[in-house]
Amino acid sequence: MGKGHYTRPAVIQVTEMRLSYGFSGDCFPLTFELSERLKPLVASHLPRRRKWHFNDRVLLWLSPELEPDLIAFYQGGGDIFLMSYDEAWAQKLDIELLRELAKRLEVLSPGILTMITGQ
């Protein structure tokens, strides 16, 4: 094979990786760790996007202004989060998203954060 050629299976693997990794990937570890820990409570309040990665649904719930980027990604025409946004901004956003998630969880289940942190 010459330079620049690729096989069909490689394209399929990249597509599968792209969809399993999702738009947000692991850009928001603090937020996604808490949402995963309380997944049963969180999942029932997420937007109904069945084919979307759980973390991306959390991101949409907490930050609806990212919806156009998420839709573009899942329709195949958009980049992953870090291709569009700065990593330093992602770290700051993770803290903001975590605060928003904590507020929403306290509304949904008062005392839940105290219970899971033991404080």
Q: Residue 7 pLDDT > 50, yes or no?
A: no
Does the structure show a pLDDT above 90 at 4?
no
pTM comes to: 0.78
DSSP string, the chain: --TT---HHHHHHHHHHHHHHTTTTTS-HHHHHHHHHTHHHHHTTS---TTS-HHHHHHHHH-GGGHHHHHHHHTTS---HHHHS-HHHHHHHHHHHHHHHHHHHHHHSTTHHHHHHT-
The model's pLDDT over 27-52, given as tens digits with 9 standing for 90+, comes to: 899 999 999 999 999 999 999 988 89
